[in-house]
Structure 1
Amino acid sequence: MSARASRGSTAVNATVVTSQKVHEGRADEYQHWQERTNQAAREFEGFVGAEVYPPGAGEPNEWVTVFRFSAMDYLTAWLDSDVRHALLDEARGLFEGSPTQEVLQGGSPARQLAPEVVTAVISHEVKPGCEQGFLNWQEKTLREQEKAPGFMGSELFEPVAGVQSNWVVVFRFETRAYLDDWLASDVRTTLLEEGSKYFTSYDVRKVGSSFSGWFRFDHGEDRSAPPNWKQAMAVLLALYPTVMVLNLTVGYGLEKLDIREYIGLFLSNVLSVSALTWLLMPTVNRLLAFWLVPARVRTRRTQVLGIALVVFCYAVFIGVFGLITGQIF
């Protein structure tokens, strides 16, 4: 089943969002365990990314993890694997009670957002036979949400047969303050009273998240994202050939059409940013993951190899475009 989105098309992917309360004073142990769990998940086919979010204000000791796979079969293979069950058995002493999880199929592609953006994940246990009433209630709720300050969008995920029985709503606000205002509002309180006839229970989790679009690696610790100099080298690797190709093709065409330079530059920027965000940067991230993902850079040799590979690609691109433009000599 696919997600029902408020905007845009539905992507084919599968995500599991897990919330777990860690015992007081055991956060360091949990983080080391989570790093090993993330590494284990990377070895499974279809793995796209893992994100870790530390406790926010008002959620003491509650950590949220997000695992993304390219298809539901790949995700369920990870969830049902002996490797994952062994890791969970090992970590039972770290948690207060059992972790909770929601499995989401489909959803809109990730996009780059401001770091203040916060996401709410709400799971509903819908009463049998009340599905259509619940959907109608959700549509009414969305119309009210759209009037709320700071609201950025919402997606509704249907149950996944044999994997996830609850209906899950994911929505974003510009800041945690805007989200908290909506959650505590009289409008939402009235809507919940009305909706209670359709579901028996619901659970709310807040995730402080920018859900970045270019570097979708582990989040939550400074060391979990690529350092700025690596990000700059990776972006340059994709940006230079993009700009050159556009200059030699689109730029030449716009010049022939006698389009004003400032308009032509704007159109070229739109094309280059689009190509980087949805095509080239995801490709570069996958190819250079061994060097960009901090957890994978375990030796100096890997560090040097990554730098050498990027510099070699720079040289190749410069040589190729030098030959194409006839300016190599």
Structure 2
Amino acid sequence: MSSPVALIATAKLRREDIDAFTTWQGRHEAAAATFSGFLSSDLIPPGKDGHDEWTLILNFQTADQLTIWQHSAARASLIAEALPFFIGGNTGQAMAGDTAHDTSVTGVTGMIFSRIKPGMEGRYREWAVRIQAAQTKYPGYRGIYLQPPATSGKDATWTTFVRYDTRAHLEAWMTAPERATLLEEAEEFVDNMELVRLATAFPGWVPVNATTGQGPPDWKTALLVLLGLFPIVMLELRFLNPTFSAWNMNASLATFIANALSVAVTSFVTMRLFVRWFDWWLFPNAHRPADTTLKGLILLFMLFIGEIGALWWLLP
């Protein structure tokens, strides 16, 4: 069975050519991604340790598939186009193993998962070239990792890791008006985009808005937690506590088990469902009515009343 293989290239650039190079790299990655066996690409800029070279990594499933890319006319044309940018480096060395997303690169990372509308992959690739070029201009940029979906279909997801040296610099890019404009443009061909960061008081339960880089207000998340937690606790009081009492279980241990079950059901069942169902309320955008928040509160109030009524006679 063939092992993944990586093509690693380095480049020393003139400062005035960096913008042109990063734009070129986006087209370089887009071209490589059209070849069979392409797995992912990684772009790592120079570090602060005296290292003055940019590093480009392309991962392919097999050495034969990488060889086809290396000998292709498309790659030859792109390399010829980029040569004026280089004052040093090498055009690529093949190495065994998948070097996907080198975690040794320091800094903080924003992880973006995108589902593309059917037949719009070409538009997405062209757009990705431009947004990659834009983010390199912001202070603290430490590189990007891009992985196309392994399979096709409506659930196929593109994975992007954007790295900056500090959380403040990552935040500056995530909230930049330039990025917001590009994301608005992407609505034409992106079906869903999710940004994963620990940027809320409920990390792991609620994602952040891919456009703003912010999570929903904590009070909204808290209401959804309550909506799911109340019936869980009531059912535990009715069915679980009598069982523990019959077993003469220590109160501390019984409470711990009940709390563990409550947290598990909340984390893996109720909040996952509620975040999906109340997405329109958690992340209202400019295209939604101004009274979206009020409508969500009214709906939640009705659901709370329904839960209380349904469980009114549950306990003796």
Q: TM range, normalised to the smaller chain?
A: 0.3 to 0.5
**TM-score normalised to structure 2 length:** 0.44
TM-score by length of 1: 0.42
The structure whose RCO (Cα within 8 Å, separation 6+) is larger is 1
- The structure that has the greater radius of gyration is 2
